[in-house]
């Protein structure tokens, strides 16, 4: 009698590509959570109000696995910089950060009648 081999059924659900504009990281004693965010401005011709679409992709890792992700990412970045040159902050981002910093300083020096509850 021929021996029957057990077959495995595998279903793959490919996720959508996701561009992350921001990321936040949180942790508990047993996991590290990476929350990738994609923020997209929306224009609705029926409304004059600005609106945004915020999508999240959350990845939860055990701490030892998160450490190995750092190692792999570090190796990939070294290879990338070897092929394409040093990764630097885009000039437009640097200009925007300086502009935002200036606006924050100006806002702090202005007196307003609006109470601040955020310290």
Residue whose structure tokens are 């601040």: 116
| pLDDT at 116 (0 to 100) | 53
117 pLDDT more than 70: no
Decide if 34 contacts 25 (C-beta within 8 A).
yes
Whole-prediction pTM:
0.64
C-alpha–C-alpha distance, residues 23 and 56, integer Å: 9
User: 10 Å Cβ neighbour count for 38?
Assistant: 14
pLDDT in tens, 73-89: 999 999 999 999 999 99
Among 81, 57, 61, CA closest to 69:
61
| pLDDT at 28 (0 to 100) | 96
Among 86, 90, 70, CA closest to 78:
86
């Amino acid at each position: 009698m021929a021996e029957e081999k057990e077959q495995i059924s595998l279903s793959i659900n490919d996720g959508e590509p996701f561009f992350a504009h921001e990321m936040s990281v949180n942790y508990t004693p047993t996991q590290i959570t990476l929350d990738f965010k994609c923020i997209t401005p929306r224009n609705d011709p029926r409304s004059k109000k600005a609106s945004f679409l915020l999508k999240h992709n959350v990845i939860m890792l055990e701490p030892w696995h998160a450490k190995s992700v750092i190692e792999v990412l570090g190796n990939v970045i070294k290879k990338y910089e070897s092929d394409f040159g040093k990764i630097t902050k885009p000039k437009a981002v640097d200009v925007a950060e300086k502009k935002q910093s200036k606006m924050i300083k100006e806002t702090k020096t202005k007196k307003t009648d609006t109470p601040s509850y955020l310290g």
